[in-house]
Structure 1
Amino acid sequence: MYCETDEDLCELVNRARKYTEYGKVANYIPALGRAEQSDLAIALYYKDGHCVKAGDVEKKFTLQSVSKVLTLALAIMDQGEEEVFRKVGMEPTGDPFNSIAKLETQIPAKPLNPMINAGALVVTNMIEGRSTHEKLGRLLTLIHDLTNNSKIDVDHGVAKSEYETAHLNRSLCYYMKQHGVITGEVEELIDLYTRQCAIQVTCIDLARIGMVLANKGRDPLSNRLILPEGIATIVKTFMVTCGMYNASGEFAIRVGIPAKSGVSGGIIGLVPPNIGVGVYGPSLNEKGNSIAGVKLLEMLSQRYQLSIF
């Protein structure tokens, strides 16, 4: 049972929008604090190319932690599964996404998973390229393929704002460099990481990426293989276990689809094998997830029985 029309989605968006007033827009990255708290949008991309959408779908926003899904896929393609998971674990954590605590108690001092900041920094450090520009270009090329949108680029204002305030991420990097988990110059890594987080998309772009993941790494229209199926499977599994920060378990029960959120208010989701989901709602709950976006997905999942469980 699927949502067939924009009008069906509009009703759910209107019901969920009231929840935006109970959250807060992220302001620890100054450029993100300029978002409109009441914005809410959703797109569903189907395997036949049909896209149903509602809300503020024209609004662009930055990937932030949604980018962790894409860099993980690229790093595994570059380095292989064994090498990536030698340096980053596979286990969920109940700690905040930017916590340093577990690094001090883990032996060896490697991050628990690729969806927390420490793990994402390790993953970004493994992307191949002779320069930050080349590494970022390879990531953008992958995103252009996944979205079929070659106009996607970095919001340089947001990237600059993030770079100037990335003190905690620098701390994570220096700690991990001390323990040999990452290599190279920390400032170059922070530069690349803040740029990857500042890649600008719409919820329609996210929905199309979700559709490729739902379709085992294949483009829904051309059937071209963009991501190896095994890598798509790994990414989707992490989305279930770790994708919604330390609210992933509750989200799995209430919504029940693989998803990954970011502090810009974006959420990418998917329902195998036929639906990709993109959500935007910058008003966040205390866990850093879009408060109205999560409620919207909960309503959608219940109405159309989308849970994979």
Structure 2
Amino acid sequence: MLCESNEELDVLVEEARPFTKNGKVADYIPELGKANPDDLSIAIHYPDGNCVAAGEVRRKITLQSISKVLSLALVLMDRGQDYVFERVGMEPTGDPFNSIAKLETMGIARPLNPMINAGALAVTHMIKGSSVDERLQRLLEFVKEMAENREVSVNEKVARSEFETAHLNRALCYFLKQHGVVTEDVEPLMDLYTKQCAIEMDCRDLADIGLVFAMDGVNPATGKRIMPADVARICKTFMVTCGMYNASGEFAIKIGIPAKSGVSGGIMGAVPGKVGIGIFGPALDEKGNSIGGIKLLELLSEKYSLSMF
């Protein structure tokens, strides 16, 4: 996707950029710790095919938790709502994304929603295929179709870095396996999940994916339906209620658009019927969201009245 530079967006990016000084890159994943915390970029893709951008838009970004929305969409198409939501709930937690607390204290092992790590691991477990590679390729093909970019791939260095340090996610997997939510071996599931999180693109691709969700599952450039409208609706609803970790309520009030963040500093936004937004700003706040990206979305939402509420 070719995006034109835009002076208004340039001004907003530079207004938000100083806020990156108050954040910190996700150095608990060694490869992500190498990012430049000052980076901040945005792309906005409109249904008529226009795309505008500002900042370091060519900078590559791994999806991390943004991939949770995409794997959920694929699994809902693979398995259907009843199957998926018998195993994963629909409720926000108010806890950090990697918390195990609710699994233990609620008396049921079913993760509360697909946007926390436990829920995302359960969803990834549901991707159909006879091997890690086959399942990954199915997800990757789906992501490439949404982004309209055949170059989208997995960053093997980031995947390896995550696989070697993902001890808490392994603990979540073993807990889920103990209670029958996960039935496969933990290491292959961790291999698939860390590669899923390491799918890499730039914020222009993110904006393209956001636009497909914004347009209820249809690529407006081709008219092709990529997912059923109901799947897009469910995913957007989770983005509103759980997409920004345990800051989702505040985000809904201040900005008011369906969005999903990842600890690499990416944010994918989908303004229903209007635009797809992709943001990259690797300096994170204490909740794990891009601190400059959230400020940029605040400025954008205020200036262009993007809130759906």
Class of the TM-score when normalised by the shorter of the 2 chains: over 0.9
Determine the structure 2 residue equivalent to 1:220: 220
C-alpha separation in 1, matches of 2:225 and 2:89: 27
- 1:140 counterpart letter in structure 2: L
Matches within 5 A, 1:21-40: 21-40=21-40
C-alpha separation in 2, matches of 1:77 and 1:9: 36
Structure 2 SS opposite 1:140? helix
The reply on whether 1:66 has 2:66 as its aligned counterpart is yes
Question: After the TM superposition, which segments of 4 or more aligned residues of structure 1 sit over 6 Å from their partners?
Answer: none
- 1:176 counterpart letter in structure 2: L
C-alpha separation in 2, matches of 1:209 and 1:106: 35
Determine the structure 1 residue equivalent to 2:252: 252
Structure 2 SS opposite 1:283? coil
C-alpha separation in 1, matches of 2:28 and 2:157: 15
CA drift of 1:62 comes to 0.2
Range that drifts further, 101-110 or 247-256 = 101-110
CA drift of 1:274 comes to 1.9
C-alpha separation in 1, matches of 2:184 and 2:235: 26
Structure 2 SS opposite 1:282? coil
Determine the structure 2 residue equivalent to 1:90: 90
- 2:199 counterpart letter in structure 1: I
C-alpha separation in 2, matches of 1:293 and 1:69: 19
Matches within 5 A, 1:261-300: 261-300=261-300
- 1:73 counterpart letter in structure 2: A
The Cα offsets for residues 25-83 of structure 1, whole Å up to 9 and x where unpaired, read as 00110000000000000000000110010001010010000000000001111111001
Determine the structure 1 residue equivalent to 2:235: 235
C-alpha separation in 1, matches of 2:25 and 2:41: 15
C-alpha separation in 2, matches of 1:94 and 1:272: 25
The reply on whether 1:166 has 2:177 as its aligned counterpart is no
CA drift of 1:5 comes to 6.7
The Cα offsets for residues 172-213 of structure 1, whole Å up to 9 and x where unpaired, read as 000110011111110000000000000001100010001001
**Unaligned segments of structure 2, at least 5 residues:** none
CA drift of 1:84 comes to 0.4
Determine the structure 1 residue equivalent to 2:182: 182
TM-score (norm 1): 0.98
Structure 1 SS opposite 2:267? strand
The reply on whether 1:147 has 2:134 as its aligned counterpart is no
The Cα offsets for residues 235-291 of structure 1, whole Å up to 9 and x where unpaired, read as 000000000000000000110000000000000001110200000000000000000
C-alpha separation in 2, matches of 1:235 and 1:80: 13
C-alpha separation in 2, matches of 1:280 and 1:251: 17
C-alpha separation in 1, matches of 2:183 and 2:258: 31
C-alpha separation in 1, matches of 2:274 and 2:139: 25
CA drift of 1:107 comes to 3.1
Structure 1 SS opposite 2:31? helix
The Cα offsets for residues 158-178 of structure 1, whole Å up to 9 and x where unpaired, read as 000000001000000001100
The Cα offsets for residues 3-22 of structure 1, whole Å up to 9 and x where unpaired, read as x9711100000000000000
Aligned residues: 306
Range that drifts further, 106-115 or 82-91 = 106-115
C-alpha separation in 2, matches of 1:285 and 1:171: 25
The Cα offsets for residues 118-175 of structure 1, whole Å up to 9 and x where unpaired, read as 0000000000001000000000100111011001000000000000001000000001
- 2:185 counterpart letter in structure 1: E
C-alpha separation in 2, matches of 1:180 and 1:232: 28
- 1:284 counterpart letter in structure 2: L
- 2:19 counterpart letter in structure 1: Y
CA drift of 1:106 comes to 2.4
- 1:62 counterpart letter in structure 2: T
Determine the structure 2 residue equivalent to 1:109: 109
TM-score (norm 2): 0.98
